[in-house]
Amino acid sequence: MILNRPAKDEYFQFYDHYVQLAQGNSLDDLFELGNNLVHFYNSIPEELGTYQYAPGKWSIKQLLQHVVDTERIFAYRLLCIFRGEQQAIPGFDENLYADSGNAEHRTLQEIQEEFVLVRQSTNQLLKSGKKEDFSKYVIASGHKISGRALSFIIFGHAMHHKNILQERYGIK
């Protein structure tokens, strides 16, 4: 399905970086990016899971758990749009989620497997949407956002963290 890039008025500008990182103009383009991200995240070896590039920064396991949690939240927002939800959806505190995400008590492989499952679930949700669903809106974190924008943000957010892993953590 062709999915035109969202206009700037379809999302809060905080998300613009993520929208820009998700290249393409179709669900197939986003799915290809998603497959590349799965391959990248799954290539990180277990022994690097607890690595932090600086004191007080997230470990690789915490960062990947953040990617998983955030995708779930964004996919829920997308589900709300697809189902016609009229209630505002609250935001979330990414640091609170990271601190309570239990990543330090899990293996990196477990979190990688969870990422694959969440990615597959998101893909199925996206495939279930009708073309007109992507133009609908919901209020999330106090701001209007469209289904089209969320579609790009989901993939762009994961890409953003891939870039951080490469630039700050030295993962290639």
CATH code where residue 43 lies: 1.20.120.450
Range of the domain at 45: 8-167
> For 38-91, what is each residue's pLDDT tens digit?
999 999 999 999 999 999 999 999 999 999 999 999 999 999 999 999 999 999
What does the pLDDT read at residue 47? 98
At 33, the pLDDT band (50, 70, 90 cuts) reads very high
Q: How many domains does the chain have?
A: 1
% of the chain at pLDDT higher than 90 = 99
Tokens (6 digits) for 170: 């030295």
What lies within 8 Å, CB to CB, of 10 at 6+ separation is 137, 144, 145, 146, 148, 149
- State the average pLDDT over residues 130-135: 97
What mean pLDDT comes out for the span 93-117? 97
Query: Per-residue confidence at 166, pLDDT binned at 50, 70, 90?
Result: very high
Instruction: Report the C-alpha gap between 13 and 72 in whole angstroms.
Output: 21
| Residue 3 included in any domain | no
Which pLDDT belongs to residue 73?
Answer: 98
Confidence band of 137 (pLDDT split at 50, 70, 90): very high
Distance between CA 22 and CA 135 in Å, rounded? 18
Residue 95 in any domain: the answer is: yes
In a domain, 78, yes or no: yes
Structural domain includes residue 1: no
50 within a domain of the structure (yes/no): yes
**pLDDT value for 34:** 97
C-alpha to C-alpha distances, 43 to 36, 104, 141, nearest whole angstrom: 11, 19, 33
DSSP 8-state symbol, 2 = B
